[in-house]
């Protein structure tokens, strides 16, 4: 009976036929779509990645404080603001003065963040390039990888509809990657999301592997997805950086009576402020709060997100990410975090017109000529 009750509640909580639920998804998405361009506009040579990540998280709290206040609900960060350059992939949110990164001309920069309203999640990521000459497009491998990631995300969006399979998306994205001599990164994923759940039942890795068929699934109405396309100019292999992690997430399956006062204090703040979602220690109030983190980690109450990078270190990686709702009534899927304008790039490579993905992307291929930012 308890299991049946859980499934009934879960179905009710994730029913996209409920306009209130859809409204919460859209509110989260509107905040993401307001903050991401603001951060992108501040990506200039000399800017501090630590300061920009902290600023992004502050904007999330500012925007979410203005909505759904008549009947208070949990709301805030679903994924902390991260900014990764060149061959770094995900989970970079450094502390000021501790491993900070200063942006430079020529950097390929990826920004990612997520917001939730009452557990309903919207997330997005965008790639730009700090072009030293705004009148000329960026060329070479940086241009190739941006084009591959952009068209890969576009074809994934077109195929993310009821009746198609996860493998259909994998195969199409692989075709796009090959056309630009790039590789989907191991962390590239089409991932179902549910209320309070960043990783629900259905998912498929876009870096095609032998066990693809065992992980395949059919896309159905009344589902929500995040599509995270990371393309590498190299082999797409991932390794953990030696950089100390600053992003953590509560492990709700562990309990422990913390001994240190600082640990008890910070764990309560984390529970109250971030619920079950990841957070960055960059957004904690100060050193005293951070002193309590190690005990929480040592006893399994917090799980670290290690900084990830492309294994070779010589490649560059581009990322585009979006959130999609597939309505209950089988209408057209809705991308609630639409893409930002592309960086000004020119790739000498292109998708051969005879490929099926070229036909799927015909309109985008004609219109997606990067313009000066």
For the segment 273-315, what is each residue's pLDDT rounded down to a tens digit?
Answer: 999 999 999 888 766 778 889 999 999 999 999 999 998 778 9
Q: What is the pLDDT of residues 171-183, one digit of tens each?
A: 999 999 999 999 9
- What is residue 166's three-state secondary structure? helix
The correct answer on CATH 1.10.10.10 for the domain covering 247-302 is yes
Tokens coding 231: 């393309």
Residue by residue, pLDDT tens for the chain (373 residues) are 334 433 456 788 999 999 999 999 999 999 999 999 999 999 999 999 999 999 999 999 999 999 998 888 999 999 999 999 999 999 999 998 888 999 999 999 999 999 999 999 999 999 999 998 888 999 999 999 999 999 999 999 999 999 999 999 999 999 999 999 999 998 899 999 999 999 999 998 888 665 666 678 999 999 999 999 999 999 989 999 988 999 999 998 888 888 888 889 899 999 999 999 999 998 887 667 788 899 999 999 999 999 999 987 789 999 999 999 999 886 789 999 998 989 999 999 999 888 888 888 876 654 444 444 4
Query: In angstroms, how far apart are the furthest CA atoms of the chain?
Result: 66
Contact predicate 106/135, CB 8 Å: no
DSSP 12: H
Q: Count of CB atoms within 10 A of residue 81's CB?
A: 27
The correct answer on CATH 3.90.230.10 for the domain covering 2-240+320-367 is yes
Q: Look at residue 8 in the predicted model and tell me its pLDDT.
A: 54
Domain ranges of the chain: 2-240+320-367, 247-302
Alpha-carbon gap, residue 105 to 56, rounded angstroms: 22
Tokens coding 232: 């590498």
- Predicted TM-score of the model (pTM): 0.92
Strands 189-193 and 247-250: unpaired
Runs of H (alpha helix) within the chain:
2-13, 19-41, 49-64, 141-159, 166-179, 261-274, 287-291, 293-298, 356-360, 362-367
- What is residue 75's three-state secondary structure? strand
Question: Partners of 320 in the beta sheet?
Answer: 229
Helices 19-41, 49-64: axis angle to 10 degrees equals 150
């Amino acid at each position: 009976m308890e299991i049946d009750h859980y499934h009934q509640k879960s179905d009710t909580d994730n029913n996209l036929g409920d306009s209130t639920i859809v409204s919460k998804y859209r509110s989260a998405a509107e905040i993401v779509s307001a903050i991401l361009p603001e951060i992108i506009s501040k990506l200039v040579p000399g800017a501090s990645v630590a300061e920009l990540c902290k600023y992004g998280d502050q904007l999330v709290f500012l925007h979410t404080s203005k909505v759904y206040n008549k009947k208070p609900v949990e709301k805030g960060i679903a994924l902390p603001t991260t900014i990764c350059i060149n061959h770094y992939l995900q989970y970079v949110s450094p502390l000021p003065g501790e491993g900070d990164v200063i942006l430079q001309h020529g950097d390929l920069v990826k920004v990612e963040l997520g917001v939730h309203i009452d557990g309903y999640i919207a997330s997005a990521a965008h790639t730009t390039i700090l072009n030293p000459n705004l009148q000329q497009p960026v060329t070479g491998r940086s241009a190739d990888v941006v084009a591959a990631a952009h068209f890969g995300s576009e074809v994934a969006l077109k195929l993310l509809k009821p009746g198609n399979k996860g493998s259909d998306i994998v195969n199409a994205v692989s075709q796009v990657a090959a056309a630009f001599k790039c590789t989907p990164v191991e962390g590239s994923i089409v991932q179902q999301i549910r209320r309070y759940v960043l990783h629900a039942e259905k998912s498929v890795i876009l870096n095609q592997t032998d066990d693809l068929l065992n992980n395949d699934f059919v896309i159905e109405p009344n589902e929500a997805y995040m599509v995270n396309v990371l393309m590498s100019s190299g082999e797409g292999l991932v390794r953990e950086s030696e950089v100390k992690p600053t992003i953590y997430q509560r492990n709700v399956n562990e309990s422990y009576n913390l001994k240190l006062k600082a640990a008890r204090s910070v764990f309560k703040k984390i529970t109250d402020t971030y619920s079950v979602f990841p957070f960055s220690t960059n957004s904690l109030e100060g050193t005293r709060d951070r002193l309590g983190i190690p005990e929480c980690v040592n006893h399994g109450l917090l799980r670290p997100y290690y900084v990830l990078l492309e294994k070779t270190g010589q490649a560059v990686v581009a990322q585009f990410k979006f959130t999609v709702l597939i309505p209950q009534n089988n209408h057209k899927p809705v991308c609630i975090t639409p893409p930002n304008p592309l960086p000004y790039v020119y790739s000498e490579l292109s998708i051969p017109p005879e490929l099926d993905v070229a036909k799927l992307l015909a309109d985008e291929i004609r219109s997606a000529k990067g313009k000066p930012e």
